[in-house]
Amino acid sequence: MKKINSNNAVTEIIGTILLLAIAIALFSIVHFIVFSYPFPNIAPSVSIVGTIEEGKIIIEHHGGVPLSLDTEIHFRIGSESDIITISGDNYLSSEAKDDLRWGIGEKIIYQDIDPTGENVEIIVVDVESNSVVMRSTLQ
């Protein structure tokens, strides 16, 4: 009886294992690179309308995602400017504050500075997503 000594099958198996190891290593590196970067917060979709009535600036939430009470509103009236949060100084009614959100139909009434005869610039900034959700000039 003759013994046949062949190493062909062993080299094919080792080659396959090496190719699989390289593919898995490359996939792992790409996965780590892609998912290690933080994804940006998406700005909420919201419809806000601002008006001036009887010397008061009224900002009303007309639709979309309710905003948190930490939302900032930046006012520039003539040469004066002011920044408020929705929850501060009773700009929003107490019933609206019960759900801790600024939702549809709820109004913010700002009357600290008389806007009569001045251009009023309003910027609403959602603090949670750190994005501007409204920018408008009234009057």
Q: Is 56 helix (H, G, I), strand (E, B) or coil?
A: strand
Q: What is the pLDDT of residue 62?
A: 92
pLDDT digits (tens, 9 = 90+) for 71-120: 999 999 888 888 888 877 667 766 666 778 888 888 888 887 777 778 88
State the Cα–Cα distance between residues 102 and 68, nearest whole angstrom: 6
Q: Please check the confidence at residue 67 and state whether its pLDDT lies above 70.
A: yes
State the Cα–Cα distance between residues 56 and 130, nearest whole angstrom: 27
Task: Average the pLDDT over 7-31 and give the result.
Answer: 89
Question: What's the CATH architecture for 46-138?
Answer: Sandwich (2.60)
State the Cα–Cα distance between residues 13 and 104, nearest whole angstrom: 66
pLDDT, mean over the chain: 85
Confidence of residue 5 (pLDDT cuts 50, 70, 90): low
Backbone φ and ψ for 34, nearest 5 degrees, come out as: -70, -45
Domain spans, the chain: 46-138
